[in-house]
Structure 1
Amino acid sequence: MGNILTPVMPPYSPELTAVMQHYPRQDGYLLKLFRVFANSARFAKKGVPNLLDKDSPLLLREREIVILRTTANNDCEYEWGVHVAIFAGAAGFSEAQISATKTGKCDDPAWDDKEKSLLASIDDLCRAGTIAEENLASFQRFWTREEQMEIMALCGTYHTVSFVANGARVELEDFAARFPTA
C-alpha cells in the first residue's frame, strides 16, 4: 500500500516547497496531478511548468490544440478537462472544436488547414512516434523549426502527464470539463 501514487499534501520538505512554488495554481489551488508529481522531487523538478511559459514560440491556441489532442489520444480525461476548463476560452475554441479534440478526425471541418495539419501531426506522433510522410511536408511548411521542436516536446510531455494521471488514477477536478460523448 505504501507505493500507491496519491496527491502529496503539504507541508512539503524545503526542497519540494521550492519546486512546487513554480507550478501554476488555479485560484490558489495546486492541482491534484501536480501534487502527485510531488511523490518524486526529481520528477517534479523536470515536470510541466517549463513548457507552459510565456516564451513559447506557439500561440496559446496552438499549444492547447497539442495538449488537448495528445491527452484525448491518451484517454486522459483528467488533464484534458483541466485544460478545457482553464484555457479553452482564452484559446478561442468553439464548443464544436473542444468536442472535436476528443471525438473528431484531424480533417474535421471545425479546423482551418494549419490546425488540421497540426492535428494530423499530433495523431501521427501519438500513434507511431513520428510524423507520417504524407503529413510531414505540411508540418514543415506551417511550422518553423523552433515551433516543430515545441510541438514534439509538448506532445511528449503530455504523454508523460497522461501516463501519470491515468496510472495514478487521479480523481477529476471538480471544476474540470468532462469528455464529450461520441
Structure 2
Amino acid sequence: MTTQLTPITEPYPEDVAKVLASYPQQGGYILALFRVFANSLRFLKKAVPNLLDKDSPLPLRIREIVILRVTANKNCEYEWGVHVSAFGSHAKLTDAQIAATRSDQVDDAIWSPAEACLLRAVDNLCASGKMDNSISEQFARDWSKEQQLEIFALCGTYHTISFVANAARLPNEPFGARFP
C-alpha cells in the first residue's frame, strides 16, 4: 500500500463524486489537486474553504496577488501556474508583476503602495507567521478588518494547498504557467 498522496481516478465513490461536482471544472476536467484532496472526504469537504467566491471582501486582483505570492514563497509551481493561467489576465496583472511574485524583493516601481505593502506582509506571514510593526501599521491602514482576515485566511489556505501539491509532487497542469 502506497502512502504517497496521488490524485484519485474515476470511478469515484458516490460521496466523493458528489463533493467533487461542486469544485470548479473545465469541460468536466477536475484538477489533479482536487483529486488529491479526495483521498479524504473530510479534507475534500472541510479543510480548504473556497475563498474565491463572489462574496469575498477582496477584489480579484488582491486575492490573486496574495495567492501568487504565497505559492511562490512555498515554491509551489503547480498552484502558482494554475492561478497565473486561470486568473492572471482577469486580475489585470502584467507579465512583470506576475514574474515579480517570484522575486525575493518587492519592486515598488511596479506595484501600488498598498500592493507593495501587501506583498511584504505576505512575505512576513510566510516566513514567521507575523508582520513587522512597520508593515503591520500600513497593512491596517490599507485594508479593512474584514479584508485583513480574508488575507490571513488566503495565506493559510494556500500554505495548505502548497503543502499538498508539493507533497503529492503534482506535475504542472498542461495549461499551467511555469515559474520564470
Name the aligned partner's letter for residue 63 of structure 1: R
Instruction: Check conservation: 2:33, 2:170, Cα contact below 8 A.
Output: yes
4+ residue runs over 4 A deviation: none
The separation in 2 between residues aligned to 1:166 and 1:2, in whole angstroms, is 17
Match of 1:18 in 2: 18
Q: Do structure 1's residue 165 and structure 2's residue 141 form an aligned pair? A: no
Query: How far apart are residue 47 of structure 1 and its match?
Result: 4.3
Worse-superposed segment, 13-22 or 82-91: 13-22
The separation in 1 between residues aligned to 2:43 and 2:116, in whole angstroms, is 33
* 1:94-140 deviation per Cα after TM superposition (whole angstroms, max 9, x unaligned): 10000001125224421010101110110010000011111011100
The separation in 2 between residues aligned to 1:48 and 1:127, in whole angstroms, is 21
TM-score by length of 2: 0.96
5+ residue gaps, structure 2, are none
Match of 1:101 in 2: 101
The 5 A counterparts of 1:104-143 are: 105-143=105-143
Aligned length: 180
Worse-superposed segment, 47-56 or 123-132: 47-56
The separation in 1 between residues aligned to 2:102 and 2:108, in whole angstroms, is 11
Query: Residues 30 and 49 from structure 1, CA distance in 2 versus in 1: closer, same or farther, beyond 3 angstroms?
Result: farther
- Per the alignment, in what secondary structure is the counterpart of residue 102 of structure 1? coil
5+ residue gaps, structure 1, are none
State, as a whole percentage, how many aligned pairs show the same letter. 57
Worse-superposed segment, 33-42 or 11-20: 11-20
Instruction: Check conservation: 1:100, 1:108, Cα contact below 8 A.
Output: no
The 5 A counterparts of 1:30-179 are: 30-48=30-48, 50-103=50-103, 105-179=105-179
